[in-house]
Amino acid sequence: MRIIDSHVHVWVNDPEYPWAPEVKNPPAGDATAEQLLEKMAAHGTEKTVLVQVIHYRWDNRYAADCMKRYPDRFEGVCRVNPESPTAADDLSHWVETHGFRGVRLSPGVGPAGDWFTSPDLDALWRRTQDLRVPMCILTHQERLPDLEGWIRNYGDVQVCVDHMAWPPVDRPEMLENLLRLAQYPEVCVKISGTWAVSRDDYPYRDTHDAVKRIYDAFGPERLMWGTDWPLVERKCGYTGALDMVRKEFTFLTDMDREWILAKTVLKLWPFDRQ
């Protein structure tokens, strides 16, 4: 069974790739492409999508260089400043010059995230549409109604909701905000990050009902797996993240796992860059 990881972060403590000035506590250790490739080799992971880590903010050069060094192993999702008037052109730069396939936005649920409702963001959505790259959204359930408005306007943009939008285990009714998005065929969901919302130890059984509801609504062809490496090493590790799909979500069939572990990822990131 093919294994393709839809979600990891890479970084290196190196002056050539400085942290964003506003980052006061950058990670002490490295999470390099070479360390990641060792993890991939140990687990039979064929390819991986690099998601720009927040510590660099809008400087995507390290992930870009990793893709250039290992073009057959990595795709990439960049970040651009969504509040910048040049956000759309910035996205074109990273996609057309550096080979990224996708952009990630991270709107918070408080006033600081209200830029996500601004009409100024329309230009970035249009450019995402024109470039035909996925829009990855990292947010919480409360912000998903705003996302739905954008999806209605740009229904042919592939949208990927990262980490299930963090469904709280003590408020299962909140998940309806995500389940409503199943009516839009271009929306996919990463069933990752269960360890971050669970109140239980591995295998985080208090999250399994939410995953099953998402599975029932979207179907396996619109779900994908991801480790969130290296952050997952604080919890269940790379092996545990993979075994959640291979062993712990017992409602999945082998055909479901083929979609979730690889085939859905390949619909958004086909790894066909030359």
Domains of the chain: 4-268 (3.20.20.140)
**pLDDT for the residue numbered 223:** 98
Half-sphere exposure of residue 214: CA atoms within 13 angstroms, side-chain side? 30
CA distance 67 to 250: 35
For residue 274, pLDDT beyond 60: no
Strand stretches in 62-151, DSSP E: 74-77, 103-105, 135-137
- pLDDT (tens digit per residue) in 92-114: 999 999 999 999 999 999 999 99
- Under the banding of pLDDT at 50, 70 and 90, the label for residue 161 is very high
**pLDDT for the residue numbered 214:** 98
Q: Strand 74-77 vs strand 223-224: parallel, antiparallel, or unpaired?
A: unpaired
CA distance 171 to 165: 13
Report if pTM > 0.95: yes
Expressed in angstroms, the distance from the first to the final Cα of the chain is: 25
- Under the banding of pLDDT at 50, 70 and 90, the label for residue 243 is very high
For residue 73, pLDDT beyond 60: yes
Mean pLDDT of the chain: 97
CA distance 238 to 227: 6
Residue 221 near residue 188, CB atoms below 8 Å: no
Cβ neighbours of 242 (radius 10 Å):
20
CA distance 32 to 40: 12
CA distance 184 to 187: 6
- Under the banding of pLDDT at 50, 70 and 90, the label for residue 41 is very high
